[in-house]
Structure 1
Amino acid sequence: MGPITVTAVIDFVTVVFVLATMLSMGLALTTNEILISLGQRWLLAKSLLVNLVLVPLLAFVFVIVVPMETGHVVGLLLIAMAPGAPFGPKLAEISNSDVAFASGLMAVLGVVSVATIPITVALLMPGDVSADPLGIARIVVVTQLIPLIGGLGVKARFQSVATRLHPPIQRLSTVLLVLLVILLTLVYAGEMIQLVGTGTLFISVAVVGAALLLGYVLGGPGKGTREVLATTTAARNVAIALLIATTSFRDPGVLTIIVAFGLLSLVISGPVASLWGRLSEA
């Protein structure tokens, strides 16, 4: 058995983080929250359109128009293809918006993206990039769909157990996220500094801002659902994007842009949600 490398530690932390995050999500959701999202068919259709089609296509247009390194192209496309950030309901809570819709939408996106992520990888990745859509599909099923459905099953059948399990698993997910960000920042600090001046950060900000705007425009007519769709669309699923990157793409630039995009999306969508929350209380 060889020495344990930093890369191996990052891979392990990433896998456990995604498993804990999706299990925590399932333990927190209720059947009613999911049914609320499914019942608003026109709103759900628009939500799927903006999250699964428009944001990936927007990122694709940017990487075609603006010259970028291959690793940055792959990273930007991966994070754009990964919808359903686990903290979407938290942003809805901060903005005093429709938390039930945010929770249900998060679950729907988590399930649907099992099929859409491999498809968009096959369709949008540059031809010179080696990608295995079926392998990516297996990764998403094992680490995202199975723990999510498992958590939902426990919540539906054994609510008291779910209530006890959710807080520690959620804390584990939070701790692992912080640890993962620290590890990635330390290992790829040089690459992240090199992003400054390349235009990649500007493109990431543009994609996040456009996702916010598209979500708000398509989330109507209610103010609460507009705000939910805006922040949910802007905050992509960094967890699954990182997992796919660490298992399928070894270029450091891929991880670098995913981490940078994730931080930028929080820096932008978090204050926007807070502003909406303060305005609703005024």
Structure 2
Amino acid sequence: MGPITATAVIDFVTVVFVLATMLSMGLALTVDEILGALGQHRLLARSLLANLVLVPLLAFAFVLVIPMETGHVVGLLLIAMAPGAPFGPKLAEISKSDVAFASGLMAVLGVVSVATIPVTVAFLMPGDVAADPVGIARIVVVTQLLPLIGGLGVKARYQPVATRLRPPVQRLSTYSLVLLIILLTIVYAGEMVQLVGTGTLFISAVVVVGALLLGYVLGGPNRSTREVLATTTAARNVAIALLIATTSFDDPSVLTIIVAFGLVSLVVSGPVASLWDRSNES
């Protein structure tokens, strides 16, 4: 057995993070929340349009008109293609919006992205980038769909078990995310510094703000659903994007832009949710 490399450790921690995150999500959700999201047909259609089509196309438009390094292009497109951030319901809770809809939408996006991410990769990824849509679909199924369904099954049939199991799984998700960020920062510190002068952070911020506005506009007449769709659309699924990046691409700049985008989305979405919380109370 050869020496354990930093890349291998990052890959392992990323897998643990994604599995724990999706399992925790399933353990927290109920079938009623999912059915509630599915029952709002027009709102759900607009939500899927914003998350699965418009945000990836927005990122793709920037890629077409602004010269960027190949790794940054791949990273930006990957994170734009990955909907359903696990902390979407938390942002809804902060803004005192429709938490049930946020939870149901998160689950729906987690399921449908199994099909949409590989398809979007096949259509939007640059032709000179070697990407395997079938392999990516397999990754999404194994690490995102199966633990999500498993968690939902435990929650539905053995609720006391789910109640006891979720806190340690959620802590594992949080700790593995913190460890992953530390590892990425240490291993790719040079790439992070170089990113500052490329303009990619500004592009990421514009895409995040654009996603926020798209979600708000398409969220319907109800303010609480507008706020949910806005923050959910802006907060992309860093977990699955990182996993695809670590298993499918060798360029470290791909990971760098995904982490940077995730941080930018939190910096934008978090304060916006807090601002809406104060306005909802007034």
- Please say whether Structure 1 and Structure 2 have the same fold, judged by a TM-score greater than 0.5: yes
Q: Which residue is 2:55 aligned to?
A: 55
Q: Which residue is 2:278 aligned to?
A: 278
Q: Which residue is 2:236 aligned to?
A: 236
Cα distance in 2 between the residues matched to 1:50 and 1:240: 19
Moved over 3 A (4+): none
SS of the aligned residue for 1:84 comes to: coil
What is the CA deviation profile of residues 138-194 of structure 1, one whole-angstrom value per residue up to 9, with x for unaligned ones? Answer: 000000000000000000000010000001100110010111011101111111111
Letter in 1 for 2:206: A
- Root-mean-square deviation (Å): 0.5
Q: Which residue is 1:73 aligned to?
A: 73
Q: TM-score, normalised by structure 1?
A: 0.99
What is the CA deviation profile of residues 108-130 of structure 1, one whole-angstrom value per residue up to 9, with x for unaligned ones? Answer: 00000000000000000000000
Question: How much has 1:197 moved relative to structure 2?
Answer: 2.0
In the alignment of these two chains, the number of paired residues is 282
Q: TM-score, normalised by structure 2?
A: 0.99
Letter in 1 for 2:227: E
Question: How much has 1:52 moved relative to structure 2?
Answer: 0.1
Q: Which residue is 2:218 aligned to?
A: 218
Q: Which residue is 2:33 aligned to?
A: 33
Question: How much has 1:281 moved relative to structure 2?
Answer: 1.3
Q: Which residue is 1:87 aligned to?
A: 87
Question: How much has 1:205 moved relative to structure 2?
Answer: 0.3
Alignment of structure 1 residues 106-125 onto 2, 5 Å = 106-125=106-125
Alignment of structure 1 residues 40-189 onto 2, 5 Å = 40-189=40-189
Q: Which residue is 1:9 aligned to?
A: 9
- Unaligned stretches of 5+ residues in structure 1: none
SS of the aligned residue for 2:129 comes to: coil
Q: Which residue is 1:248 aligned to?
A: 248
Cα distance in 2 between the residues matched to 1:32 and 1:83: 21
Cα distance in 2 between the residues matched to 1:212 and 1:93: 17
Identity of aligned residues (%): 85
Cα distance in 1 between the residues matched to 2:255 and 2:276: 31
Cα distance in 2 between the residues matched to 1:228 and 1:201: 24
Cα distance in 2 between the residues matched to 1:193 and 1:218: 36
